[in-house]
Amino acid sequence: MNVIDFHTHPYLSRDEFMGFYPECFDPSPEQLRADIERAGISHICGSVLLKRPYTPEEGFSYIRVLNDKALELKKKLGGLYTPGFHIHPHFVEESVAEIERMAGAGIRLIGELVPYMHGWSDYSDRRLHTILDAAGQYGMIVSFHTMKDEQREMTEMIAAHPDIVFVAAHPNERELFLLHLERLRRFDNFYLDLSGTGIFRYGLITYGVNRAGSEKFIFGSDFPICDPAMYVGAVMYEPISDADKENILYKNAAGLLG
């Protein structure tokens, strides 16, 4: 069975390696490829992050560096990798220009948006919505981090941009997962990836499939922060049908990515 990991943070070097135990590795694109394939994953998506924190003094240049690294990594990994790129609501013109640049390169995935890492935190920011208006014109997909205290803001963002496909990252624990399920049932343009906190709770996937359908879930691991093989194993172990597993592990993401 093919597996698309929709949520990773790939790396070129130790500067971008987000794993908790870098001492165990000599991070490189070659190691990344080997680790992903060893987990049974055939394709990865996601944005590059820097371990060095964002500083306002750097402005949008910090964001552009991340996006340039994603493009460089695409050259090294080829068909294994679909880049995600970053935008920033404090820099509307620069972000819109970045959307146009990436669209010209055939890249349609924004994010994962990680506000707390890049000096902003509000999905209701009008500047963000201006950028998303531009993203909708290019048929972009937006992956965004689940912000625990922004449930209303996340819902309003999805509702305000029906021409964008939104993929929330991380099921989280039961209370937040149930709120995600409400959005999955309400919005045709909303999906949930299984990366990060939540999937290790046995039954979460089955519960979600029973209530929202397997067509609304997308496999993700948050590699190299999390072990990707454990996440593949979690999906395969749940008592859902083979068709549901195929939807989650491959077909849903393949359909979005074209």
CB 70, CB 85: distance < 8 Å? yes
| Residue-level pLDDT at 121 | 85
For the chain, the structural domain boundaries read: 4-257
DSSP designation for 188: T
Residue 111 CB neighbour total at 10 angstroms:
22
CA-to-CA distance for 135 and 200, rounded, in angstroms?
Answer: 33
CA-to-CA distance for 148 and 119, rounded, in angstroms?
Answer: 17
| Residue-level pLDDT at 132 | 98
Phi, psi of 196 (to 5 degrees): 70, -145
Tokens, residue 102: 């990436």
Q: What Cα–Cα distance (Å) separates residue 121 from each residue in 25, 89, 91, 157, 250?
A: 32, 10, 14, 13, 31
DSSP bridge partners of 166: 142, 190
| Residue-level pLDDT at 183 | 98
CA contacts within 13 A on the Cβ side of 171: 28
CA-to-CA distance for 227 and 49, rounded, in angstroms?
Answer: 18
Name residue 199's amino acid: I
| Residue-level pLDDT at 160 | 97
Three-point CA angle 127, 129, 133, nearest 5°: 120
Domain spanning 4-257: CATH 3.40.50.300: no
| Residue-level pLDDT at 142 | 98
Digit-by-digit pLDDT tens for the chain (258 residues) are: 799 999 999 999 999 999 999 999 989 999 999 999 999 999 999 999 999 999 999 999 999 999 999 999 999 999 999 999 999 999 999 999 999 999 999 999 999 999 999 999 899 999 999 999 999 999 999 999 999 999 999 999 999 999 999 999 999 999 999 999 999 999 999 999 999 998 899 999 999 999 999 999 999 999 999 999 999 999 999 999 999 999 999 999 999 999
